[in-house]
Amino acid sequence: MKLDVLAFGAHPDDIELTCGGTIIKLGDMSYKTGVVALTRGELGTRGTAEIRRQEFEAAGQVLGLSVHKMLDIPDGQVAVTQQNKLKVIREIRAHQPKIVFAPYWKVRHPDHGHASDLVREAAFFSGLKNIDTGQPAFRPNKVIYYASRFEFKPSFIVDITACHDRKMTAVQSYGSQFYTPQAKKLGDEETNISRPEFLEAIITRAKQYGSYIGAGYGEPFLVREPMRLDDPVSFFGSEYLQGLL
């Protein structure tokens, strides 16, 4: 299945939290979208690998994906190795996405930082025909980075106002990880991300980024290289008068 957009996350819930609204929006625009989690999230303090798999599937329904899968890299061991690069290259070649989303490289969780490097390198090497996976060589047009805990000055912000409710529904599919009023399990150890404040912070941040572009909610993205723009006159329309950009 060929895709327009393929988003890689280190863990099953990473994409929903960081760029889930954008994935939903692109799906609404009839682009074919996919999400690949590099690990199954089995090191998580709460939930089991099986519960997380069910939650992953439920969240994927909300995101409206054409491709949704988990790879078998062990959680906590996302490293930039040749073996792992080949796993990512196989996904890129199988789906030939025009753009790839990857985590920003400066992060708190080591898996996210390694995932950033792993996906960027795999996207490059995927274009070399002498790296043999039994598939044609293919390089995506661009790797674009999404933010998790550490922020960056965004290259652009996507207005996700129309998809924000669905994004939060997808996030709350992960009842073992995040706070949901109906899924308070006695005995589950509280974690950094299971408190209601964590989800409030996700929502507040989306509102903050939305405010920069005159929208209700937004998600920030970073492009490492300079961006080419052929027609600044038409690109910078009157919508730029509405926000703080």
The residue among 25 and 52 lying less far from Zn ion, judged by its C-beta, is 52
Amino acid at 75: D
Of 11-19, 132-140, 206-214, 236-244, the segment contacting Zn ion by CB under 5 A is 11-19
Which H/E stretch holds residue 58?
A: helix 49-63
Q: For the range 232-239, what are the long-range contacts, defined as Cβ-Cβ under 8 Å and sequence gap of 24 or more?
A: 239/213, 239/214
Q: How far apart are CA 86 and CA 21, in angstroms?
A: 29
Look at residue 213 and give its three-state secondary structure: coil
Could you tell me if residue 214 is left (phi over 0), alpha (psi between -120 and 50 degrees) or otherwise beta?
A: left
159 binds Zn ion (CB under 5 A): no
Least distance (Å) from Zn ion to the CB of residue 125? 24
Per-residue binding string, Zn ion, 13-42, x by CB under 5 A, is: -x----------------------------
Q: How far apart are CA 141 and CA 42, in angstroms?
A: 32
Q: What is the dihedral of CA 217, 222, 223, 225, to 10 degrees?
A: 140
Of residues 3, 5, 6, 10, which one binds Zn ion by CB under 5 A?
10
166 binds Zn ion (CB under 5 A): no
Least distance (Å) from Zn ion to the CB of residue 94? 23
Number of residues forming the site for Zn ion (CB under 5 A)? 3
11 binds Zn ion (CB under 5 A): yes
The residue among 144 and 215 lying less far from Zn ion, judged by its C-beta, is 144
Residues making contact with Zn ion (CB under 5 A):
10-11, 14
